[in-house]
Chain A
Amino acid sequence: MRILLVDDSKTMRNIQKSVLSQLGYTDIEEACDGQDALSKVGAYAPEMLLVDWNMPNMDGLTFVKTYRKTDKTTPIIMVTTEAEKSRVIEAIKAGVNNYVVKPFTPDLLGQRIRETLDKTGAKAA
């Protein structure tokens, strides 16, 4: 399964990669902001995306809105420090399927990924 990680923090991407690898997902691509992600989705054709909210150049919410214009089904998990209810609703309206608030434990991230895949019927590793 192809998974795209969109986060400006290399450390956070490494953490997510490690959790995904423990879950059996190893085909992973990385992008450092929304613009970078938009330039990669065409060729990489991800089957799931983990997206940070606050990033330079293009933030996660703008990226999700733009991406959803062309792809309405690929599951997206927002991984962010934005925990307010209104922000969560805003993200879900934009097309996010699930939400993980930082700080999170590896177990919680793993649980959210599994939940999202189950709900969207995406294939397992």
Chain B
Amino acid sequence: MRELIPGLTLDIDTDRLAARLAIVANVEAVDSPTIIAALEGEGITRTQIDEEAIAVALAAARAGPHDAEPTEAVVARGTPVHHGRNARVDIEPDLAEQLDRQRAVLSKTAGEAERAKVCDEADVSHYEVNALCVVAPGQRIGRELDAEPGDDGLDIFGKVVGAREGREIALKLDGAARDGAGVITAKHAGLLLIDPTHVTVSKELRLPGAVDFTTGHVRFPGDAEIADGVRDNFRVEVGGTITVRNLVEAATLKSGVDIILERGMAARNKGRIDAGRDLSARYLDSVTGTVGRDLIVENEITGCDIAVARRVISPKATMVSGLIRAADSVELAEVGSAARAQAGVLAGTSPKVEQTARSLLALAPRVLADVAAAQERLKTLRSIGGKMSPAQAEELTELEFAVASGQGRMEPIARAMLRAGEVLESCRRAGVIVQGTIHAGSKVSVAGVEAIIKRSLEGPITVAADDQGTALVRDQRTGSAVELSSVAEVGALEGSVDLAAVRAAVDELSPGLAERVEAERAKAGKVICGDAGAKIAA
């Protein structure tokens, strides 16, 4: 700020877009033309000078008392520059908001405070923060906007301030498509990631931190990789594979494919795992859940209750306590403990198939009885001579239908029973392989029998049924075998279906079905059934 003429000071903005004049009160010897001339003398162009503002300010200063504050006015104005805008994506408003939250959660550099802000800003339960921007197939993401040119500016000294032109950008789309109008939509479900040159719908989610209050529950259609752990009470539900690099606490994990826990899970009997395919972990503690294919544990399984749809492949792992049920074979290093912790290993159990077989076994006699009763009544009605009454005619029609419908149900029921029986028979050949020790008190189940081991057995041993269905304990080094009943208290496994009864029911419902099915399969060139115990037998 400096004195322009006595009683008037001039202040020019650093961007040279405005000049401010302060006029002391009651100034007499100055008029507008003098001020304008003085401003021009400073280099300010005439066209940028606001003559009206000068006149108003001067009048105000003259009118005021002697001791009044100086009157200030903007007496010259430049034209601001408007820079152009680069080509960009005009993101849908709800997605833009979601992307802001997501940036903090996915950023490796974002601090705890920034992540916590996401959580604090959420107006829902912290578990339902929904910090990820997940889009559905076909969902509109936004519209591609062309680059915009800029408008030059002019400062108060008449100098042109050049505008930056907006640049066109070759926007790359991955997992997204654009139409002729530049509207961008997701090609498939996934995580939306946007930077100035890319729009990506990723089938992979990589969380740099933990699943906790900053992320809320994670629900994602693809694979999820979590660099840290999963905290208590949080849920991770994904369509693909879940990989967790650190500890999983009492959380819930559900995957469409595999679950890989690089450390392990301490679920404290509250957490749950449901893996669509394999579950692998270093250790599992107090976990309940299901595994769609194989369970692979490196070190220890304690206090778990897990149903495995195929095998347990954990030759170096100790199962200290808990219960594992597998449809196929189970291989462990050690079962139970010297302290006689309750450890149960059930190989060749398929609760769903057993349940199906039980239901069908209960259904078969009812269907047979219904058909027989309808046939008997039909016979009686047909034997009545004379003209049939309308009521009798209708009853006969109903009975004909009951017989036809009952007979129509017999074959599918018999086929379902045959298949269930085959699966169970295959399961019954599965065994338990223990490389180290099966401790006394441990429960082992194979071939539809349940055994409580009376004295500790040293491995490597295999517990499996022979061709006659007798459960044996075989020493893998010497090949010698003893009956399981000689080293354990043996009884029938509760809920185990009698396969002979299944075969008999199939024959009664559809005589010769087994042979017909065999022939159909031979014709189709199909393998008849899996052989779960083949490897063990070998």
Binding site for B on A (CB under 8 A): 9, 11-12, 15, 18, 54, 81, 101-107
Contacts and interface: CB of A to CB of B under 8 A. Distances in A.
B397 A15 contact: yes
Contacts of A12: 394, 397-398
A44 B336 CA distance: 70
Given A54-B390, A81-B390, A81-B393, A105 B405 contact: no
A102 B401 contact: no
Nearest to B391: A81
| Of B392, B399, B404, most A-chain CB atoms within 10 Å | B404
Contacts of A106: 400-401, 404-405
Interface of B: 388, 390, 392-401, 404-405
A9 B392 CA distance: 13
12 contacts: A11-B394, A15-B401, A18-B401, A81-B388, A81-B390, A81-B393, A102-B390, A102-B396, A103-B392, A105-B404, A106-B401, A106-B404
Contacts of B404: 105-107
Contacts of B396: 102-103
Given A15-B401, A102-B396, A103-B395, 13 more contacts: A9-B394, A15-B397, A18-B405, A54-B390, A81-B390, A101-B393, A103-B388, A103-B400, A104-B397, A104-B400, A105-B401, A106-B401, A107-B404
Contacts of B401: 15, 18, 105-106
Contact of B394 (A18, A103, A105): A103
A103 B390 contact: no
Given A54-B390, A81-B393, A103-B393, A11 B398 contact: yes
Q: Is chain B's interface secondary structure helix, strand, loop, or mixed overall?
A: helix
A82 to B, nearest CB: 9
Contacts of B397: 12, 15, 102-104
Contacts of B392: 103
Nearest to B392: A103
Contacts of B395: 103
A102 B388 CA distance: 10
B223 to A, nearest CB: 41
A105 B400 contact: yes
Contacts of B399: 103
Contacts of A103: 388, 392-397, 399-400
A104 B393 CA distance: 8
Contacts of B398: 11-12, 15
Nearest to B404: A106
A102 B389 CA distance: 10
Nearest to B402: A15
A105 B405 CA distance: 11
A103 B405 CA distance: 16
A81 B390 CA distance: 6
Nearest to B403: A105
B482 to A, nearest CB: 57
Contacts of A81: 388, 390, 393-394
A54 B400 CA distance: 21
A106 B404 CA distance: 7
A108 to B, nearest CB: 9
A81 B405 CA distance: 22
A54 B393 CA distance: 13
| Of B388, B390, B394, B397, most A-chain CB atoms within 10 Å | B397
A105 B375 CA distance: 13
A102 B405 contact: no
| Of B388, B398, B399, B401, most A-chain CB atoms within 10 Å | B401
Nearest to A53: B390
A81 B389 CA distance: 8
A107 B401 CA distance: 9
A18 B399 CA distance: 14
A53 to B, nearest CB: 9
Contacts of A102: 390, 393-394, 396-397
| Of A81, A103, A105, most B-chain CB atoms within 10 Å | A103
Contacts of A54: 390
A54 B396 CA distance: 17
Contacts of B388: 81, 103
A11 B397 CA distance: 10
A11 B402 CA distance: 11
B436 to A, nearest CB: 59
Contacts of A9: 394
Nearest to A108: B400
A80 B388 CA distance: 12
B421 to A, nearest CB: 28
A106 B396 CA distance: 11
A110 B363 CA distance: 28
Contacts of B400: 103-106
B373 to A, nearest CB: 17
Nearest to B400: A105
B180 to A, nearest CB: 40
A105 B407 CA distance: 13
Nearest to A82: B390
Minimum-distance CB pairs A-B, first 8: A103-B396, A102-B393, A81-B390, A103-B397, A81-B393, A105-B400, A106-B404, A15-B401
| Of A54, A81, A101, A105, most B-chain CB atoms within 10 Å | A81
Nearest to B381: A103
Contacts of A107: 404
Nearest to B397: A103
Nearest to A103: B396
